[in-house]
Amino acid sequence: MIETALPGADVKMLDEGGGDHLRAVVTAPQFEGLKRLDQHRLVRNALRERFDDGSIHALSIKTSVPG
Amino acid sequence: MVDPMADTELKQKVEGLISEHPVLLFMKGVPDQPMCGFSMRTVAVLDQLGVEYGAIDVLPALQPLREVTAEISDWQTFPQLYVNGELVGGCDIIEEMFASGELAQLLGVEQPEAAEAADESRIVPGGPQQSPPMQLE
């Protein structure tokens, strides 16, 4: 889902417990020039459906720009 | 389905709090007794920086506050740290900015030595001061 929203992104999803506490490590060219907060918003919004349907309860995010 | 419009009165209250407090943390539980690991880690960072902050326990009105902060800041998970009226981030961002020294800079305090993302064992009892927890109602 993240890759669809952010083409070219490198995404690693790690399970931090129970399958619904996830950690997303995302490197994406789209993050260039964005504040961390906005980078996180992009990732979170890409996964919004999963939040809304309850399949993700908690998500921690680590973002970076490639290169 | 919940009411899609955030509660106007609550929203005004929250906006008022954000503008009145230079450093304001919305968290689950209170600083002395966080009810969520992410809130606890954020409190630990603020305590290590020795910064004075206001803290709001969101648990009594979790869903309405989610709706309100979604409207104000496009962010609906807690904790949320506001500095000078602006959302800085949740636990991940706060820890990252703490580790890099950006948070100390933003708050105008000195970066403590050996600063690193806190784990639970680093929380020192009787640490720096903070304002008492505030109630929304």
| pLDDT for the residue numbered B1 | 46
Residue with tokens 């969101």: B58
Percent of chain A at pLDDT above 90? 60
> With contacts defined as CB-CB under 8 Å, which chain A residues touch B93?
36-37, 40
| pLDDT for the residue numbered B76 | 86
Q: A61 and B92 in contact by Cβ < 8 A?
A: yes
Of the candidates A36, A41, A58, which has its C-beta nearest B96's C-beta? A36
pTM: 0.81
Instruction: State pLDDT tens for residues B72-130.
Output: 999 989 999 999 999 999 999 999 999 999 999 999 999 987 655 445 455 444 444 45
State which residues form the domain around A33: 2-64
**Domains of chain B with bracketed CATH:** 8-109 (3.40.30.10)
Q: B65 to chain A nearest CA, in Å?
A: 16
Residue with more model confidence, B95 or A51? B95
| pLDDT for the residue numbered A18 | 76
| CATH number of the domain within which A21 lies | 3.30.300.90
| pLDDT for the residue numbered A55 | 87
Contact between B109 and B50 under an 8 Å Cβ cutoff? The reply is: yes
> In whole angstroms, what is the distance from residue B7 CA to residue A60 CA?
28
Chain A residue with Cα closest to B75: A41
Which one, of A44, A57, A52, lies nearest residue A18 by Cα? A57
Most confident of A38-42, A47-51, B122-126: A38-42
Which one, of B114, B71, B93, lies nearest residue B25 by Cα? B93
Instruction: State pLDDT tens for residues B29-88.
Output: 999 999 999 999 999 999 999 999 999 999 999 999 999 999 999 998 999 999 999 999
Edge-to-edge strands, sheet with B80-83: B54-57, B23-27, B80-83, B86-89
> In whole angstroms, what is the distance from residue B22 CA to residue B103 CA?
14
Residue with more model confidence, A54 or B32? B32
Q: How many domains does chain A have?
A: 1
Neighbour tally for B119: CB within 10 Å? 9
